[in-house]
Chains A and B, each alone.
Chain A
Amino acid sequence: MNLFKKKYQLILIIALWFSLSVITWFKPTSLVSYSERRPLRQFPVVSIHNVLSGFFMQHFEAYALDQFPFRESFRTLKAFSDLYIFNHSNTHGIHVIGDHLVSFQYPMNDNALQRAINQLNQLYNLYLSDTQVSLYLSVIPDKGYFLGKEDDYLNIDYSKFIYQITTKMPFATYIDLFPVLSLDDYYTTDTHWRQENLLPIAEFLLSSMGNPNGHLWNYHLVNTELPFYGIYHSQSALPSKPDALCYWTNSKLESLEVYHIHSNLLTPVYDLEKLSSFDSYNFFLSGASPLLVIENPNASTEKELIIFRDSFASSLSPLLFEGYAKTILIDLRYMSESLISEYIQFENQDVFFLYSAIVLNGWH
């Protein structure tokens, strides 16, 4: 055991430290972090101005953090330390409850919710109040709603949350999704709901919006066979079991095309190319987009559906297409409401405000 005499101890620690240091200097620069779904900082430009202003130093520190060798392993070590050494209830804001990773919505952001309500009211006054449209509203609970009923966690008061939004948007018929959803309807590593569990939800929504027959098309379930690591997995840096990414489809649905108005592109409903992107969930309707139009020549009706939505609608809406001749999806986070009239004439469509509690509680 002479190995552990003082000077050898010193040599070993210095060797470890300096090895990490040498790897830090010579490690090739990475462009992106797939697990964190973001580009990594690159070496800042060296110039007299950048150095004297301190810009270079600030950005170098960010670069050094991003490009540190074994970054993922160090993030995981920190996560384990948070949970198992310091016994924190969460790491990087993510709680581990059973198989689920979850970030609770807390506290309730009254200002954000009010901004959302104001914008939707403004939209109503601008385009919808003098029309024959049928208006519906649903709020998708965050999965923390199902996990945070114990006193051990801080969670928003959902009844107050829903009360605020429904009383301030009296023009829309509220379709309550809370009782028809359960924890199993959500991915374990992500915020979103699983499309494979959404057929009854879609049927419930179609019938609530005046399609009493519900689903007429026959779907079959396909498993993409690719591991899906959601956003909570990325944030927590904890090793976790991936979710399966499955989807309902049939030949009629596969024949539909999604028209992206802003980029003038046509994509399939399920965009296989996106399975290899940062976020495989973008597989549904190719991810975030300001305005999408889906025409359904197989529809047995002339009715149109307009959904004001966030990303949750990307996986749900393909199951609603069959009930309408045309479906338009608008994401107000990427599109100014003043531009809507350039693309849509509101007459007698079904207009559905479908937002998740997460987005409403953080509305900008």
Chain B
Amino acid sequence: MLFSSITFLYYFLPIVIVVYYLSPQKYQNLVLLASSLLFYSWGEPRHVLLMVFSISMGFFMGLILEKVSRLFFKKVLFVISIFMVLLPLVYFKYGNFIISQINTLQSFNLSLKAIPLPIGISFYTFQILGYLSDIYNNKYMAQKNILHFGCYVSFFPQLVAGPIVRYNDIRLALNSRNPKIDDFCGGLKLFLIGLAKKILLANQLGEFCQIFRDTSQPSVTFYWLYAIAFTLQIYFDFSGYSDMAIGLGHFFGFSLPQNFNYPYISKSISEFWRRWHMTLGSWFRDYVYIPLGGSHVSISRKITNLLIVWFLTGLWHGASWLFILWGILYGLLIGIEKLGLNQLLKRFPAWLSHLYVLIFVILGFVLFNANDLNQAINDYQNLLGLGELPLLTNETLYYMQTYRFTFLIAIFSSTPIVSNLTQYLSPKVTSSFASIIEFSTLVFILLLSTSYLVSGSFNPFLYFRF
């Protein structure tokens, strides 16, 4: 089930909220677990068992890891538990990729199977891995109640597309929470803003990308517009979904971590990744990069660690060499920045640093969105004007004209300008006036987003495939 669907907005969510708040507190986690399983089974009725398996595995292995005191046995158990938790992810997400690599390397002819990828498997597997790693490192006690643990892993707001929530972030809230009206208001606002980002911006930019792929009159300009449109689309798509998830978390008294912080205003790639999919970046930092030695090692080891982390980051996004290349590209750029480019960037004028980041991010997303390496190479050739395409065509001009406001609104909204402007103007107007404006905007967003859904508009969700 998508957050941005009529089924979720007008059937599922209102019922869950009503049932949740009518239930005694001791049953609220049960309500959330049951709702989450229903939410998941709506799109993946068969894969719900797989999730139940992963929950059980994480829960029991956590209990056992906590009980074992001898380090050797603890290590063995930890490795076994990691293996068991990773097994479904490897099979469903990477099975065919591994087989095709073996076939290529060894000239075998192992057959590939059409294996549907369970939605959200990368997200919930990483949550369980993080939990087990923390139990292994004695960071906190294992959860003793499988209902609470199941609620943590399957919590529907963050189940299918993150943010990747650490157990420690919501450990206390799982036992007891008391959402305040302020939390609910903030959550509602965030949820509706996320909904608008997804439906009003990401979907329209997605339409533009689709038009580009179907065009009969490609041009160099059209390629650049596509690259920019996709860069904006993926941001609004994913950050919109994250905002909705965080907003929903507030509805039920959970404070989920921030996942995006205006990444496109970054002045370096390192900064970009501190602002983009923040929970994934911090997960890899804490559970892979630091255990590998982090920054307190030799330069060569540091670079190797970085490349391992970014290889895995790429691989996390998908079982394809394109994603791996995309990850390694960032690993190399961050490595170069750490080796000295960062110092140089600080001396650059701000606009040049922004331009450097945006160019690499835009070019990176072209690789990310290509169907295969040939298409990526073709896209790059045409972006650089090395193909035989004209600079501009009638079709490019027409769609540029048609989508110009969408681009402008999207570019404007991807920066903190609106937020800064609101903060600047707030003290200058009466609180009642500000409330009316805010109220009207939120109502308008709800109705307008609904109108786009009801009209059956283009409504894909990019991060479902991860």
In the complex, residue of chain B having the shortest beta-carbon distance to the beta carbon of A76:
B451
Given contacts A71-B454, A154-B395, contact A86 B435 (CB under 8 A): no
Contacts of B457 in A (CB 8 A): 78
Contacts of A20 in B (CB 8 A): 10, 450
Digitize A320-334: 1 where CB-to-B-CB distance is under 8 Å, 0 elsewhere: 000000000000000
Report Cα–Cα, A92/B457, bound state, in Å. Answer: 9
- Inter-subunit contact A86/B405 (CB<8 Å): yes
In the complex, residue of chain B having the shortest beta-carbon distance to the beta carbon of A88:
B402
In the complex, residue of chain A having the shortest beta-carbon distance to the beta carbon of B2:
A61
B403 CB within 8 Å of chain A: yes
Contacting B at CB under 8 A, from A90-115, are: 90, 92, 107
Contacts of B181 in A (CB 8 A): 6-7, 10
Interface of B is mostly: helix
> Which stretch from A52-60, A116-124, A224-232 is at the chain B interface?
A52-60
- Inter-subunit contact B398/A17 (CB<8 Å): no
Return A7 CB to nearest CB of chain B, in Å.
5
- Inter-subunit contact B45/A54 (CB<8 Å): yes
Report Cα–Cα, A9/B398, bound state, in Å. Answer: 42
> Which stretch from B50-58, B257-265, B436-444 is at the chain A interface?
B436-444
- Inter-subunit contact A78/B432 (CB<8 Å): no
Contacts of A31 in B (CB 8 A): none
Contacts of A5 in B (CB 8 A): 435
Of B9, B45, B185, B451, the contact of A51 (CB 8 Å cutoff): B45
- Inter-subunit contact A25/B185 (CB<8 Å): no
Given contacts A61-B7, A64-B7, contact A21 B398 (CB under 8 A): no
- With most chain A CB atoms within 10 A of its CB, the pick from B394, B452, B455 is B455
Digitize A44-84: 1 where CB-to-B-CB distance is under 8 Å, 0 elsewhere: 00000001111001001100110010010011011001000
Please report the total number of B residues contacting A with Cβ < 8 Å: 50
In the complex, residue of chain A having the shortest beta-carbon distance to the beta carbon of B409:
A86
Of B401, B430, B443, the contact of A13 (CB 8 Å cutoff): B443
Please report the total number of A residues contacting B with Cβ < 8 Å: 48
In the complex, residue of chain A having the shortest beta-carbon distance to the beta carbon of B437:
A4
A87 CB within 8 Å of chain B: yes
- With most chain A CB atoms within 10 A of its CB, the pick from B14, B184, B443, B456 is B14
- Inter-subunit contact A16/B6 (CB<8 Å): no
A253 CB within 8 Å of chain B: no
- Inter-subunit contact A153/B398 (CB<8 Å): yes
- Inter-subunit contact B7/A89 (CB<8 Å): no
B90 CB within 8 Å of chain A: no
- Inter-subunit contact A4/B436 (CB<8 Å): yes
Contacts of A273 in B (CB 8 A): none
In the complex, residue of chain B having the shortest beta-carbon distance to the beta carbon of A4:
B435
Of B1, B11, B436, B450, the contact of A74 (CB 8 Å cutoff): B450
- Inter-subunit contact B394/A86 (CB<8 Å): no
In the complex, residue of chain A having the shortest beta-carbon distance to the beta carbon of B214:
A107
In the complex, 21 of the A-B residue pairs with CB atoms within 8 angstroms, ordered by the A residue number, are A4-B435, A9-B185, A9-B438, A12-B439, A13-B188, A13-B443, A16-B446, A17-B446, A20-B450, A21-B11, A21-B14, A60-B7, A65-B456, A74-B447, A86-B403, A86-B409, A88-B406, A89-B401, A107-B216, A152-B398, A237-B455
6 A-B pairs closest in CB distance: A1-B432, A4-B435, A78-B451, A77-B451, A74-B451, A74-B454
